[in-house]
Structure 1
Amino acid sequence: MNRNWVLMFFNAVFFLTAHAVYSQNSPAPIKLVDVILSPDHSDWKYLTSEKPLVKVTVLQYGVPLKNVKVEYATGPEMMNADGKGSLLLKDGSGTIQMETSKQPGFRYLKVKTTHNNNSYENQVKLAFSPEAIEATTTLPADFNQFWKQSMDALRDVPLDPQVEHLPAYSTSTVDVFLVSIQTTGKGQRMYGYLCKPKKAGKYPVIFSPPGAGVKPFAPATSLAEQGFISFTTEIHGLSPMLDASVYRSISTAFGDYWLHNLNDRDAYYYKRVYLGCVRAIDYLCSLPEFDGKNVAVTGGSQGGALSIVTAALHPKVNCLVAFYPALCDITGYLHNRAGGWPHMLNQVSAPVVNRPDNLKTLQYFDVVNFARQIKVPGFYSWGYNDNTCPPTSVYAAINTIKAPKTIRITPVSAHWRFEETNRESINWIKEQLKLVEPGSK
């Protein structure tokens, strides 16, 4: 047999085998059966006196399934169900009448069905006068004094930046560096990726603190490609370039870091983290390429929380973007409603955490009390279906902010955001920093 034909034969076999393996192991990009929930208010928002009506549709291949039975449960957000029922959808659709909420907040509807011995489910969480949600956490009288003294103690700690160029991550227009800076004292360091435009000039800076967890991450050059100097960090004093297996072992032993030294406000884990974010801004503003005036901070989840904290503490921050911020109104659970991530006071954790010394410390770190200090414009976005950072807790924080607010609610979102909203937030930052004309794209 001709050698070329042999090679073609084996290449074809390899392709078909690889394709078969890929097909067997890859999850389907869509569900076989969809449970569609459609509230009768398009914005999913109601007054506390209103009873929502939710249309339920079960689809297979985009076509309603006939004579399908659904079971449902309703209740206050993140709390036990206070209503249950079932419904036969003869033509594949029907309606469920939900109860109202007597207090500003959220109620959920969870719907489940079984088809061919497989279960399918969906949820919606509906808002009731959410702009009237009030925070449960209180502001300590010495809150500002505590944080001023904490930041004053940093003055004698040199940043001592250690910078390593990373050619493998750099592009034709952006230089990428692994950077570590000293935060609160000798040996206390924060690592991150610095991305700078290669073209000589002066640039605005943008700080991106991380979401929760102990995990590696790769640099992202998109902001630098748009004319920012960006600094994306971790918070645990670990290089993001460590092997993933090392991170897994550390995370196993170190997972609940938000509980470390919770009984002592001066030793609590997040104190070093919050001050490290302040130091990140100090570092960015020390760069010779910094334009001297434009400073932004953006993040989501824990990063959204740290964005609010950083903007509240550092006077050079001009604007912030916070997506579904964590650590908001943590004490909500003590008032029979949802509290913020990491849910330290829910039914599982409350017996361990609900102690006077712990609760006192939390007052100095709850993002609600930093939101009360915000003086610069902010872009805030979250979804109603989020069970990680429940919207009740987010509203509790954002409702306290007196500075200008741009709010983008995408009610269907859970703990994620749409790319359209992401792009809007970057354009908003550019407008705030007067880098583009308002409304331009």
Structure 2
Amino acid sequence: MMNRLSFILSVFYVVCLSHMVSAQTRSTELIQVVVTPDKPDWTYQLGEKASFSVTVLQHQVPLNNVEVRYTIGLEKMKASQSGTVVVKSPYTAVGKAATLQEPGFLRCDVRVTVDGKEYRGIATAGFAPESIQPTQQLPADFWDFWNNAKAAAAKIPMDAKVTLLAERCTEKVNVYQVNIQHFETGARLYGILATPKKVGKYPAVLQVPGAGVRPYSGIINLAEQGIITLQIGIHGVPVTYEAELYDNLRFGALKGYYYSNLDDRDKYYYKRVYLGCVRAVDYLFSLPEFDGGNLAVWGGSQGGALAIITAALDNRVKHLASLYPALCDLTGYLHGRAGGWPHLFNDSNASFLKKEEKIKVSAYYDVVNFARSVQVPGFYTWGYNDDTCPPTSYYAAYNQIKAPKEVYVVQETGHWTFPQQREKVEDWLVKQLK
């Protein structure tokens, strides 16, 4: 779900009519559908009207006299407007100006078919996003449950095993695959550890993973700057195999793991995952080259959720960085608005997941309930166009955080980041840790 590769957003300068249009996709497809809100920051007050326009580009030149189809409505909800319009010039108006009376996000989705292929562009207007509140409930025994779970997991011996990956080492950094026992006897957690070769005491970064299952290569660049890095997987399999194995797991044994045992808070799949993140912190604290205190956790999407959760579960974490976190306000769909990935209670999943016990269990794993207890400084970055982790959901969590926080919003981004966003994350981490 989190793509670690950096992509460059093409910027199109439309000489015709002297307008500049920014493409809202990182794709290099022939046709670009650029949807533009009428405020530069895409952000509106409640009751303020937002309007949208569309420009269709081919060969970086406006394509005129083409018919487009549009919908406008709350993200992930049934559209309140739909229709067609012929684009006769850049910035052709789409639909009627619209507003929201409650905090949330209004999305304009525009599609065009050219030579039999459909192309899409979106823009999402935010209405008082920093006032969005969660729909999820906080169980009275939330922290009793997690404190007991941590205490039980802490009794499991770590039994760390380390293998040097000589081919990945650099002049300044040693790279290892590590695996540690966690959660219960026999359960293993694998990751890639990178440590500076020079003898000394160093801060550390734990990178927690996006959804899915894949190999990992480690975070060598930060290690070369004098930071121990541990990049973990969560599924109990080594992280150095060929891609085919992970594809087989993704579409086989691990398909839909995020739904597994949702009706039992003690058996839900993410229990082992959350506790595994705490065990990864244990492992970093066991390293003789760790400075013993300066630790950050970082991730995007599912990893963005795990970063917040780990910081809340373990007060040894001193800093966190989270990109478009998943697992936020999962019950949003039960209240007429978007919920977070993996969209447990949307229309597609409602028939088998919208059950009282599953809804209750979701509260113990929802980021919003961990966010309330975050006490460390954090850096956050995301956009308004995210189809995978809806901004309504992650603002519901972000707004619960009372600790010092900084958010870098790049409105046009979806479930991806510009290179500059990753640079800002890494620069912030280095600044905090040095």
Residue 82 (structure 1) aligns with: 80
Q: Distance in 1 between matches of 2:113 and 2:242?
A: 42
Q: Is the 8 A contact 2:51 2:98 kept in 1?
A: no
Quick check: which has more Rg, 1 or 2? 1
Residue 235 (structure 1) aligns with: 234
- In the alignment, structure 1 residue 58 sits paired with structure 2 residue 62: no
Residue 273 (structure 1) aligns with: 273
TM-superposed CA distance for 1:29, in Å, is 6.5
Q: Is the 8 A contact 1:195 1:224 kept in 2?
A: yes
SS in 2 for 1:194: strand
| Identity across the alignment (%) | 47
Q: What 5-or-longer segments of structure 2 have no aligned partner? A: 1-25
TM-superposed CA distance for 1:284, in Å, is 0.3
Residue 263 (structure 1) aligns with: 263
TM-superposed CA distance for 1:248, in Å, is 2.2
Q: Is the 8 A contact 1:205 1:229 kept in 2?
A: yes
Residue 421 (structure 1) aligns with: 421
User: For the structure 1 residues 157 and 118, does the alpha-carbon distance in structure 2 shift closer, same or farther, using more than 3 Å as the test?
Assistant: closer
Q: Distance in 2 between matches of 1:431 and 1:195?
A: 19
TM-superposed CA distance for 1:66, in Å, is 2.6
Q: Distance in 2 between matches of 1:219 and 1:354?
A: 38
Q: Is the 8 A contact 2:219 2:230 kept in 1?
A: no
**Deviation per residue, 1:355-374 (Å, 9 max, x gap):** 11111111111011000110
SS in 1 for 2:203: strand
Q: Is the 8 A contact 1:207 1:296 kept in 2?
A: yes
Q: Is the 8 A contact 1:64 1:93 kept in 2?
A: no
1:107-256 equivalent positions in 2, closer than 5 A: 107-253=106-252, 254-256=254-256
Which of these residues, 27, 32, 43, is aligned with residue 45 of structure 1?
43
Q: Is the 8 A contact 2:36 2:91 kept in 1?
A: no
Structure 1 counterpart of 2:50, which letter? P
Residue 21 (structure 1) aligns with: none
Structure 1 counterpart of 2:285, which letter? C
TM-superposed CA distance for 1:156, in Å, is 2.2
TM-superposed CA distance for 1:376, in Å, is 0.5
- What RMSD over aligned residues (CA atoms) do the two structures have, in Å? 1.5
Q: Distance in 1 between matches of 2:69 and 2:263?
A: 43
SS in 2 for 1:193: strand
Corresponding pairs, count? 407
Q: Is the 8 A contact 2:192 2:216 kept in 1?
A: no
**Deviation per residue, 1:47-104 (Å, 9 max, x gap):** 1211212232122222222322222111110112121122222234412233112221
Structure 1 counterpart of 2:120, which letter? E
**Deviation per residue, 1:215-245 (Å, 9 max, x gap):** 2232331111121100001001000122322
SS in 2 for 1:168: helix
Residue 13 (structure 2) aligns with: none
Moved more, 261-270 or 394-403: 261-270
With normalisation by structure 2, the TM-score equals 0.91
SS in 2 for 1:154: helix
Q: Is the 8 A contact 1:174 1:196 kept in 2?
A: yes
Residue 306 (structure 1) aligns with: 306
**Deviation per residue, 1:285-311 (Å, 9 max, x gap):** 110000122000000000111101100
TM-superposed CA distance for 1:203, in Å, is 0.4
User: For the structure 1 residues 394 and 244, does the alpha-carbon distance in structure 2 shift closer, same or farther, using more than 3 Å as the test?
Assistant: same
Residue 402 (structure 1) aligns with: 402
**Deviation per residue, 1:256-308 (Å, 9 max, x gap):** 11111111111111111100100000100110000122000000000111101
